Structure 1
Amino acid sequence: MLAFAKGHGTLNDFVCFSDAEGRLELSDEQLRFLCDRRAGIGGDGTLRAVRARHVPGYEGHGDAWFMDYRNADASIAEMCGNGLRVFLRYLEQEGLIDESPVDIVTRAGVRHGEFLPDGQICVTMGTPTIGPDPITVTVAGESFPARVVDVGNPHAAVVLEPGRLAGLDLSVEPGYPAEVYPNQANVEFVEFAGDDRVVMRVWERGVGETFSCGTGTVAAAVAAATASGHSGRRWRVDPPGGSLVVDLSGPEATLTGPAVIVARGTVNL
């Protein structure tokens, strides 16, 4: 039996469980079962809490928590912004952390989380980079220019003309250059909704279209800032699951939004 918690950040949902000493290595089949919305618990991914000293190659503070994030298909992902906030909420409610801000180890490096007075959580997202040249993304036979954005994980961000977002068919994975993304990519479609606000939809690798993607909102803000010429500002980014705030004004981007634990239980693996 595995004790778990189910949480979400702007409807990007995760199955959380702790394994402090790194003894619980679930198989890909078990991870996919946990994320199965009919046969299992259901989620866009799993979040396993492990002490960083059990992570091969990590040489930092061994008592820090490592966020072992897996996509719904059990593939490994370097980083997840919504998942990081849910991970922090899970650690807080389980009594596994007692300070703020707190450092969390991820495959994309150390990230910092802070619990805000209004109940939201702010996390650092590293320094995003954007490629100099556009690439081409295809959706249902139609081609769009996209920017290559790295937020610790790979993204292709498309800034659309007004009125195009709602009608996109994201029932199948968008096409993009395999040589640019050898490990696949998350693809964001972004539409301006004001001077400092964009709406977006996202296809997440290993999952499909999701209600939200934390790193994707940062990629969307970076692409919008590049398209508008306003790089150092705060952006409100609205995926279908809610609203998030991305701040690009500092040396590291930050992402602020909600994180909620909705259920706890045990599951037979």
Structure 2
Amino acid sequence: MLTTRFTKGHGTGNDFVILDDPDGLDLTEQLVRWLCDRRFGIGGDGLLRAVRAGDVPEWTGDPNLWFMDYRNADGSIAQMCGNGLRVFARYLTTRGLLEGAEADIATRAGVKHVRLLDDGLVRADLGPVRVLDDAVDISCGGRVRAARPADVGNPHAVVLLDPDEHVADLDLTVAPTWQPRGVFPEGVNVEFVEPLDGDRVRMRVHERGVGETLSCGTGTAAVAAVMAATTGRLGPWTVEVPGGTITVDLDGGAALIGPAVLVATGEVTLPDSLDLAR
């Protein structure tokens, strides 16, 4: 019988399984899906694994940095996760793996800087967001809407709703589709945005490899960047998501400011039916 330590955390309701002791495990898609399953495993929108960057074969930078090995709930590998980055920083600090209130974290989208603030929030600097001019149509709920692509180290398509539409009325139980298909060959996170007053918007998101989530950190950065490109206002933008509120500062690149909460630690017994041993 194989067991492993885990921590459970979330950033505005976007929740993650964090492995405490992954050394004896082969992190297969099957294992990730099981751990993230809300009925048979622990449950989460994704999985975070803390490893030294030098142990990641494709990493060519500082080998001593902590590397955020992020997987979607379906087991697929993702380049970045803004909420996950803040939760990862909270986890490393709580476990005594980081000294001080700020650090650089290695990710598949490069090195990102994080800072724990005095009010309990965490700031994660994601770097520049590229808002693209490609014409993309998003189909959702039997309706086709124009979207603006944005690159935050991972792909996004941002849909600005019409003035008479509300994000609460959308059906996101079925994954949106897009045309032309070749624009997002590895899939895409789709954000639907309802402008509010001033530099404030309301957002819902369908994440690739997961489905609808209560929040998406890189998605809020994509939304803020698209709103800035559309309105000419840099904000800071306040993005309301079903799981809470995130502030996006676009001065010098996108920075997310929001909560990161660890809610549980424990030991999980892995099912014998999975081939988990190295």
Q: TM-score band, normalised by the shorter chain? A: over 0.9
Q: Distance in 2 between matches of 1:4 and 1:101?
A: 23
Q: Secondary structure at the match of 1:118?
A: coil
- 2:238 corresponds to which of 227, 236, 239: 236
- 1:222 corresponds to which of 220, 225, 235: 225
Match status 1:7 vs 2:12: no
Q: Secondary structure at the match of 2:167?
A: coil
Q: Distance in 2 between matches of 1:80 and 1:133?
A: 23
> Normalized against structure 1, the TM-score is what?
0.96
After superposition, residues 25-36 of structure 1 pair within 5 angstroms as: 25-36=26-37
Tell me the equivalent position of 2:150: 149
Output the aligned Cα RMSD: 1.3
> Normalized against structure 2, the TM-score is what?
0.93
Tell whether the 8 Å contact from 2:6 to 2:21 is kept in structure 1 after alignment.
no
Q: Distance in 1 between matches of 2:4 and 2:142?
A: 44
Match status 1:201 vs 2:189: no
Q: Secondary structure at the match of 1:31?
A: helix
After superposition, residues 54-203 of structure 1 pair within 5 angstroms as: 54-162=55-163, 163-177=165-179, 178-203=181-206
Tell whether the 8 Å contact from 1:159 to 1:223 is kept in structure 2 after alignment.
no
Runs of 5+ unmatched residues, structure 1 = none
CA apart distance, 1:57: 3.0
CA distance 1:109–1:125, change in 2 (3 Å): same
Tell me the equivalent position of 1:53: 54
Q: Distance in 2 between matches of 1:18 and 1:51?
A: 13
Amino acid at match of 1:3: R
Tell whether the 8 Å contact from 2:67 to 2:105 is kept in structure 1 after alignment.
yes
Runs of 5+ unmatched residues, structure 2 = 271-278
CA apart distance, 1:100: 2.6
Q: Secondary structure at the match of 2:87?
A: helix
Tell whether the 8 Å contact from 1:50 to 1:67 is kept in structure 2 after alignment.
yes
1:175-219 alpha-carbon deviations (Å, 9 max, x no partner): 113200000000000011111100000000000000000000011
Amino acid at match of 2:197: G
Q: Secondary structure at the match of 1:236?
A: strand
Q: Secondary structure at the match of 1:2?
A: strand
CA apart distance, 1:229: 2.2
1:101-155 alpha-carbon deviations (Å, 9 max, x no partner): 2000000000000010101000111211011233110112201110010000000
Q: Distance in 1 between matches of 2:211 and 2:121?
A: 26
Q: Distance in 2 between matches of 1:74 and 1:174?
A: 20
Tell whether the 8 Å contact from 2:139 to 2:178 is kept in structure 1 after alignment.
yes
Tell whether the 8 Å contact from 1:18 to 1:50 is kept in structure 2 after alignment.
no
CA apart distance, 1:23: 5.5
Amino acid at match of 1:29: Q
Tell whether the 8 Å contact from 1:158 to 1:223 is kept in structure 2 after alignment.
no
Q: Secondary structure at the match of 2:178?
A: coil
Q: Distance in 1 between matches of 2:107 and 2:5?
A: 22
CA apart distance, 1:161: 1.7
Tell whether the 8 Å contact from 1:190 to 1:224 is kept in structure 2 after alignment.
no
Tell whether the 8 Å contact from 2:36 to 2:46 is kept in structure 1 after alignment.
yes
The size of the alignment, in residue pairs, is 266
